[in-house]
Amino acid sequence: METENQTYILEFILLGFSEDTDVQSLLFGLFLSMYLVTLIGNLLIILAIISDSHLHTPIYFFLSNLSFTDICFTSTTIPKMLLNIQTESKTITYENCLSQMYLFMLFGLVDNFFLAVMAYDHFVAICHPLHYTVIMNPQVCVLLLLACWLLGVLTSLLHDLMVLRLSFCRELEIPHFFCELSQVVRHACSDNFLNDLVMNFGAGLLGVIPLIGIFFSYYKIISSILRISTAGGKCKAFSTCGSHLSVVIFFYGTSLGVYLSSAATQNSRAIAIASVMYMVVTPMLNPFIYSLRNKDIKQAFKNLRNILSIKGYIVSSLQKCP
C-alpha cells in the first residue's frame, strides 16, 4: 500500500559532466563553439542547395532535409545545457523534460530514416541509372519525406505518452546533460516494465530495419561497382556514395557505441560523454564530410558566395546614394 505522504516532483536535476567551475567554463566554450559550427555548416549546406538549381535533385533534397534535422537535433539539448552552465542552474521542469525527450527522439529518428532513404537513392542511382528519374520522381521523394516524419512523430509521441503514466516520487537526479529517455524511465518509482519493453522493441525495430536497408543497398551498390570495367568508372561510382557512407559510419558507429557502453557499464557520466559523439560531433562533421569531397557542393558554395557578395555590394551602393 502506498504511503499518503508520497510527493511527486515537478522538476528534474541534470547533473551534466562536472561540477568543477573551471571545467564548466571550458565545457561552455567548447560546446558553444561546436554548436555554432553545426548551425553555420548545416545552414550553408541548405542555402547552397536552395540557391543552385543544379542541386535540385533527390539526393540533395534529402541532404538539405538531413542538415535541417541535424540543426534541430542539436538544438534540442545544447542550448539548454549552455543556459544551465551560464545560470549555474541544473534544473529542468517536468513539462520541459517531456518536450525535450520528444523533440530529441523525433529528430534523432528522422535523421536515422533519412540516412536509410539516402542509401536507397544511391542504390537506385548506381544499380538502376536508366530508371532513376522514374523511380525517384518528385512525388516519391515527397512521400518518403512525409513517411520519415510521420514515423518519427508517432514513435516519439508513443514514448512520451508512456512516460506520462509513470510516477516520480523523489528528487530526481539525471546523470546526463539532457533528459534522456532511458535515464528518466530508470528513475521512476512506479512499474516501468512496459516502458522498457516498448523502448527495447522500438530500438530494435526502428534502429535495425533502417540499418539492414542501408547494408542491403550498399551490398547491391558494391556488387554493381565491381562489375564496372574501367577504373575511372569505379572511382566515380565510389565517390558518389562515399560521403553518405562516411556519415552512416559516424552516426551508427557512435550510436552503437553508446548503446553497448550503457549495457556494459553503469557509469552514467561515461555514457553522457559518449553520447556527445553522435549528438554533437556527428551533426557538426556532416557538412564537412559532404562539402570536402563533393564537387557539386563546392561549386554551390562558390555560387552562394558570389550571390552574397553581389547583394552586399548592391546594399552598400544603395546606402551611399543620397
Which CATH number fits the domain that encloses residue 105?
Answer: 1.20.1070.10
**Residue 60 confidence (pLDDT):** 92
Question: Is 90 part of any domain?
Answer: yes
**Residue 314 confidence (pLDDT):** 54
All cell numbers assigned to 264: 556494459
Q: Which residues pair with 173 in a beta bridge?
A: 13
Question: Is 140 part of any domain?
Answer: yes
Distance, in Å, from the CA atom of 213 to the CA atom of 228, rounded to the nearest integer, reads 23
Per residue of the chain (322 residues), what is the pLDDT tens digit? 344 444 455 788 888 877 777 788 898 999 999 999 999 999 999 999 998 888 899 999 999 999 999 999 999 999 999 998 888 888 899 999 999 999 999 999 999 999 999 999 999 998 998 999 999 999 999 999 999 999 999 999 999 999 998 888 766 788 888 998 888 888 888 888 899 889 888 887 888 899 899 999 999 998 888 887 777 667 766 776 888 888 888 888 877 776 666 655 556 666 777 778 878 888 998 888 887 767 778 787 787 777 767 655 455 555 555 5
- Count of domains in the chain? 1
Q: Is the CB of residue 73 less than 8 Å from the CB of residue 284?
A: no
Domain of residue 24 covers 11-292
Distance, in Å, from the CA atom of 255 to the CA atom of 66, rounded to the nearest integer, reads 17
**Residue 320 confidence (pLDDT):** 59
Angstrom CA distances, 274 to 29, 33, 127, 296, stand at 19, 18, 37, 33
Question: Is 23 part of any domain?
Answer: yes
Question: Is 3 part of any domain?
Answer: no
Question: Is 83 part of any domain?
Answer: yes
Question: Is 124 part of any domain?
Answer: yes
Q: Is the CB of residue 248 less than 8 Å from the CB of residue 115?
A: yes
Listed in order, strand segments (DSSP E) in 58-154 are 91-93
Question: Is 54 part of any domain?
Answer: yes
Question: Is 192 part of any domain?
Answer: yes
Distance, in Å, from the CA atom of 159 to the CA atom of 153, rounded to the nearest integer, reads 10
